[in-house]
Amino acid sequence: MSTPSERRLQKELMSMLKEPPTGMEVDTAVMEHNDLHTWHVRLTGAAGTLYEGENFKLQFKFSPKYPFDSPEVTFTGDNIPLHPHVYSNGHICLSILTDDWSPALSVQAVCLSIISMLSSSKEKKRPPDDALYVKTCSKNPKKTKWWYHDDTV
Amino acid sequence: MASSSTSTEEATASTSTSQPENKEETKEKKEDEDDDSDKSGDEKMFECNICLDTAKDAVVSYCGHLFCWPCLYQWLETRPNRQSCPVCKAAISRDKCIPLYGRGGSGKDPRSKVPPRPPPTRTEQTDNGRFSWGSNEGNGGFHMSFGIGAFPFGFFASAFNFGGPGTTPAGANFMTPQQIEEQEFLSKVFIWVALIFIVWLMLA
């Protein structure tokens, strides 16, 4: 018998495979032995934006308390988008990943938010404190006390 | 389904060793998919917004969003001081949702049932000296500090020991950070009162 969090992840996976949303594709290769607690999702930059045609890889890690506890989401792979809210180690400054998380959100909703965050960027650059943050931060972005102050991007 | 098969093809192409596993995976997925496609659109309308299953012990918030009561209860417990609707973030609480009674249901208020308790997930405390005694031996510490004041305060001490929230077993296992803080504050107050009393006794 699977746990509630596994059941929910299974449902989310099914719906994403069945009706793949634009610009995101779940990579089922990493789900060895049907372990649903780590996902990789390939994102494609939206057309007409600075990231058009680029491909990125997002890693999701789910705790057994998902969906009451937010997933740990980072960019991974060799193409980390240059964006004022994305650190060079892949950590993302996005409020729905911590404070504003809600159990009604899903992998698809998070991916959509991230694509939208990329799309509204006007300038391809790293956050101003990138060097310091990357040196001092924890491996888990959820342990960072994020300060959400810039709603424009 | 199209994307499912393409992604597994890619997967098998890239990692030939994990081929059998992937096949198994797809088979299982197919079964699940059949499961899901059995559901009619009508039934999907009554899915809980949290577990994505058909709502059990259904309640609906004033803002109109449907949940299983156990799911919503767990969410409200997760953020007790910032309770908001998972879907629209409207203010929400136990009393601001309406139980739904279908014809086949038991007719009992789902909110009166004790929701199934979440499985225990034990995480180590973060490095914080204050908590090492506060949570594990919190009650011991609590009573110890009364011990000092027990002589002049015999009456108070016994009264509080009976009525204190920490004496019931349920309270002992289920202390929120707020309760711990309250207890710490109380024990501090009593230590000070006891000290003042002792000083007063010595002076008098």
Q: Report pLDDT digits (tens) over B143-196.
A: 444 444 445 554 554 444 444 444 444 444 556 677 888 889 999 999 999 999
State whether residue A36 is helix, strand or coil.
Answer: coil
Residue predicted with more confidence, B102 or A13: A13
State whether residue B47 is helix, strand or coil.
Answer: strand
At residue A148, the pLDDT reads 84
Is A68 within the bounds of a domain? yes
**Whether the complex's predicted ipTM surpasses the cut of 0.95:** no
Instruction: Tell me if residue A137 is catalytic.
Output: no
Is A28 within the bounds of a domain? yes
At residue B151, the pLDDT reads 53
% of chain B surpassing 90 pLDDT: 21
Q: Mind telling me how many Å the CA of A32 is from chain B's nearest CA?
A: 7
- What's phi and psi for B10, nearest 5 deg? -60, -45
At residue B166, the pLDDT reads 42
Residue B15's Cα: distance from chain center in Å? 41
What residues in A contact B127, CB-CB < 8 Å? none
Work out how many domains chain A is built from and give that number: 1
Q: What is the mean pLDDT of residues B45-59?
A: 89
Mean pLDDT of all residues in chain A? 91
At residue B169, the pLDDT reads 43
List the CATH number of the domain containing A78: 3.10.110.10
Residue in A55, A62, A122, A133 with CA at minimum distance from that of residue A97 = A62
* Backbone Cα Rg of chain A: 15
Question: Does position A83 have pLDDT exceeding 60, yes or no?
Answer: yes
CA dist A98 and A138 (Å) reads: 15
CB B50 to CB A28 under 8 A?
no
Is A31 within the bounds of a domain? yes
Instruction: Provide the residue range defining the domain that includes A95.
Output: 4-138
Is A146 within the bounds of a domain? no
CA dist B92 and B96 (Å) reads: 6
CB A25 to CB B86 under 8 A?
no
Mind listing the pLDDT tens digit for each residue in A38-58? 999 999 999 999 999 999 999
Q: What is the mean pLDDT of residues B125-141?
A: 50
Tokens of B145: 């500090």
Tracing tokens 């004496």 back to the chain, one arrives at B167
